[in-house]
Amino acid sequence: EPEVTQTPSHQVTQMGQEVILRCVPISNHLYFYWYRQILGQKVEFLVSFYNNEISEKSEIFDDQFSVERPDGSNFTLKIRSTKLEDSAMYFCASRLPGQGHEQFFGPGTRLTVL
Amino acid sequence: AQSVAQPEDQVNVAEGNPLTVKCTYSVSGNPYLFWYVQYPNRGLQFLLKYITGDNLVKGSYGFEAEFNKSQTSFHLKKPSALVSDSALYFCAVRDETGFQKLVFGTGTRLLVSP
């Protein structure tokens, strides 16, 4: 069964450093998302991506964040200058086009900012 | 704006007993509702969804959910709980605007005792 994959599973970084979180969505999916979950809190939407551009972003997704689909398979989230409060689990998700299709989530990357 | 509420932080049930995890929603149009489960240190796994049609939706691992429009509820149920069902359960509603991001509830921890 196809699945969304994410690397790395855990990333530790120093405050102010740049990090890139990588995702490989399911191959025939066209809509891509990033969510985050701060420890003990609910899952929050960050950004959606379709047709090689951001389609929607939350207020969390400020200028420090960017997303890219550099080739036909990878989907990346970059944080330019990490802050302590960026420490969270980051989930990538993808879905088929059309109404009502569920999103499939990757296993997540745990980001720890020291 | 769309929202879901999960009124219980934790639900405790004995193995073999039926379980219910509650969710209520608020949408302005037709609701597209989802249940996901999160096991420790894992991603979100899709369980089931309601788009339209029968109010009783069947999903993975023997779970089902009952859509009730008059009560704006979408409770998750299982006739006979297993210890392995112990996990964090999230109800979500599809955003009606934009590109269908999911809006999650705060999650309910299900603890099934032997």
Could you tell me the mean pLDDT of each successive run of 10 residues in chain A, 114 residues long?
A: 91 97 94 93 93 92 94 92 96 89 93 97
> Cβ of B39 under 8 Å from any chain A Cβ?
no
B15: left (phi over 0), alpha (psi -120 to 50) or beta: beta
Q: How many beta-carbon pairs under 8 angstroms link A with B?
A: 61
- Under 8 Å between Cβ of A46 and A111: no
Query: Which chain B residue has the Cα nearest residue A46?
Result: B101
**pLDDT value at residue B98:** 65
A1, A43, A48, A59: best mutation site toward chain B, by most B Cβ within 10 Å?
Answer: A43
Mean per-residue pLDDT, B82-108: 90
3-state secondary structure chain B: CCEEECCCCEEEEECCCCEEECCEEECCCCCCEEEEEECCCCCEEEEEEECCCCCEEECHHHCEEEEECCCCEEEEEECCCCHHHCEEEEEEEECCCCCCCEEECCCEEEEEEC
Give CA separation, A72 vs A2, A26, A49, A76, in Å: 16, 11, 13, 12
pLDDT for A20: 97
Q: Is B10 on the interface with A (CB under 8 A)?
A: no
Report the SS3 class of residue A58: coil
**Rounded distance, CA B28 to CA A78, Å?**
34
Nearest alpha carbon to residue A65 among A41, A88, A43, A42 = A88
A76 has a chain B CB within 8 A of its CB: no
Task: Indicate the residue type of A42.
Answer: K
pLDDT of A106 reads: 94
CB A42 within 8 A of CB B104: yes
Q: Which tokens is B21 given?
A: 């995890």
pLDDT at B69: 93
Cβ distance A56 to B42 less than 8 Å, yes or no, reads no
pLDDT mean over B31-47: 90
Which of B43, B52, B99 is closest, CB to CB, to A91? B43
- pLDDT value at B12 more than 90: yes
Shortest Cα distance, chain B CAs vs residue A102, angstroms: 7
Identify whether the C-beta of residue B85 lies closer than 8 Å to the C-beta of residue B58: no
Which of B3, B10, B4, B13 has its CA nearest to residue B84?
Answer: B13
Dump pLDDT digits (tens) for B62-77.
Answer: 999 999 999 999 999 9
Identity of the residue in B49, B105, B106 whose CB atom sits nearest the CB atom of A102: B49
| Of residues B51, B52, B102, nearest to A103 (C-beta) | B102
